[in-house]
Amino acid sequence: MKTTSLIGALLLLTTACGRLGGTPTPLPTVVLDIGAAASPSGPAASGGVTASGFISSSREANLSFGQGGIVQAVHVAVGDSVRAGDVLVELESTPAQVELDRAQRAVREMTSAAGLAAAEQALALAQQEQDKAQKKVVALTYPRATESFIKNLQAQITLARRELAEATQGFNHLEDLPDNDPGKARAQVRMSEAQANLNKLVGNYNWYTGQPSEIDVDLTNANFEAANAAVQEAQWYAAAVRGDPIPAEASGAKLTALQEAKGVVLAAQARLEATRVISPADGVVGSVGISPGEYAAPGQPVVIVTDLEHLQVETTDLSELDLPKVQIGDSATIAIDALSEQAVGHVVAISPVAEILGGDVVYKVIVTFDEQPAGLRPGMTAVVTFEGPA
């Protein structure tokens, strides 16, 4: 009875509502479907993978000195724009500058007009000695005298022998006389002079008609080779003084001294350059970690220069479960919170090493911009949606 009365009351209430409104309004029908889940919205609905990240520079230089020293000057502050080659920080460099000046002065003296004149004079003298040595080598292969000269020597020898025979015969006739006899003395002098003249003529004949010994040939050739080497070294040195190119095998004491002097200049320049921190590229100063008067230790970071023209996104929470869905070259949509805009990029790198974030295994992915948005700065947060192959 109670149930029947409740149903009746509900029917009367429904009828009364319809009459008051003029037009009956159907009640909403609720359908419960246990087998179907609510359809999600956002990137996950299309199958994309999403990860958080931040903006970083692909070119950031953390600069330091290779040698220690007292900082003399800091030329930049945080936020300054710099160009490649700009000097950012300098150490006290007076000793290095003095050393460089001394080394450069030595090279200038060696390569001055006077130095070049001396080098060319030495070359001329070496060539003169080379010519003399060459003539002696040539003389080894040709007769030392003409045929007529040899016949003339033979005739002189014939006359000298006759003169010696007559002088000997004349002395023999007077040999028994006392030694202080003038006639005997004149005969002895005549005989001695005739013998000396004959010996000289025979010696000349033997030299002009004879062949050089093996020792003479070796010595003459060795002298010629030494003269050639001296000319070559003098040519190399003169070329080096002029500043002309020389081959790698060039040698010589003077050339070695000049090259060592130039090497000292290069070493001094390197030591002076080591007192300066120079920007390797265009960018913006992100950090200055030293002040004038402080000691900068070797390797101590003093300036960070960031390239704002080549920024990228580094993800921080891409799960190991989503990693297989991301490949290098995939396109991505990048939402930048600070700029309230989206940009398009693509995956350029995936870290092979995992990181742990709140107990989860994540991998860093690098995404570059196809067109970098204006106003983008390192450190801004971003959300990356990986869209799959481009």
**Residue range 68-90: mean pLDDT, rounded:** 94
Residue 188 forms part of a structural domain? yes
What is the model's pLDDT at position 2? Answer: 40
What CATH number did the domain enclosing 286 receive? Answer: 2.40.50.100
Residue 361 forms part of a structural domain? yes
- The answer to whether residues 351 and 382 belong to one domain is yes
- The answer to whether residues 203 and 341 belong to one domain is no
To the nearest 10°, report the CA torsion of 204, 205, 209, 212.
-30
Residue 158 forms part of a structural domain? yes
Q: Does the structure show a pLDDT above 90 at 58?
A: no
**Residue range 57-73: mean pLDDT, rounded:** 92
Please give the DSSP secondary-structure letter assigned to residue 325.
G
What is the model's pLDDT at position 30? Answer: 37
What CATH number did the domain enclosing 343 receive? Answer: 2.40.30.170
Q: Does the structure show a pLDDT above 50 at 239?
A: yes
Residue 179 forms part of a structural domain? yes
Domain that holds residue 336: 43-58+310-389
> H/E/C letters for each residue in 22-65?
CCCCCCCCCCCCCCCCCCCCCHHHHCCEEEEEEEEECCEEEEEC
**Three-state SS for 201?**
helix
- The answer to whether residues 207 and 148 belong to one domain is yes
Q: Does the structure show a pLDDT above 70 at 21?
A: no
Q: What is the spatial distance between Cα 277 and Cα 62, in angstroms, rounded to a whole number?
A: 11
Q: Does the structure show a pLDDT above 50 at 35?
A: no
- The answer to whether residues 54 and 67 belong to one domain is no
- The answer to whether residues 191 and 83 belong to one domain is no
- The answer to whether residues 368 and 300 belong to one domain is no
Residue 7 forms part of a structural domain? no
- The answer to whether residues 116 and 253 belong to one domain is yes
What is the model's pLDDT at position 59? Answer: 86
Per-residue pLDDT band for 7 (boundaries 50, 70, 90) equals very low
- The answer to whether residues 252 and 127 belong to one domain is yes
Q: Does the structure show a pLDDT above 70 at 112?
A: yes
Rounded (5°) CA angle 34-38-42: 165
- The answer to whether residues 279 and 269 belong to one domain is no
What is the model's pLDDT at position 216? Answer: 87
Tally of structural domains, the chain: 4
**Residue range 125-148: mean pLDDT, rounded:** 89
What is the model's pLDDT at position 145? Answer: 82
Q: Does the structure show a pLDDT above 90 at 147?
A: no
Per-residue pLDDT band for 60 (boundaries 50, 70, 90) equals confident
Q: CA-CA distances (angstroms) from residue 219 to 213, 214, 223, 304, 332?
A: 10, 9, 6, 69, 84
pLDDT in tens, 377-389: 999 999 999 998 8
Q: What is the spatial distance between Cα 144 and Cα 161, in angstroms, rounded to a whole number?
A: 24
Q: Does the structure show a pLDDT above 80 at 247?
A: yes
Per-residue pLDDT band for 281 (boundaries 50, 70, 90) equals confident
Per-residue pLDDT band for 48 (boundaries 50, 70, 90) equals confident
- The answer to whether residues 299 and 319 belong to one domain is no
- The answer to whether residues 257 and 279 belong to one domain is no
Its sign, for the CA torsion 361, 328, 58, 312, is negative
- The answer to whether residues 189 and 240 belong to one domain is no
Q: What is the spatial distance between Cα 95 and Cα 107, in angstroms, rounded to a whole number?
A: 19
What is the model's pLDDT at position 212? Answer: 80
Q: Does the structure show a pLDDT above 60 at 34?
A: no
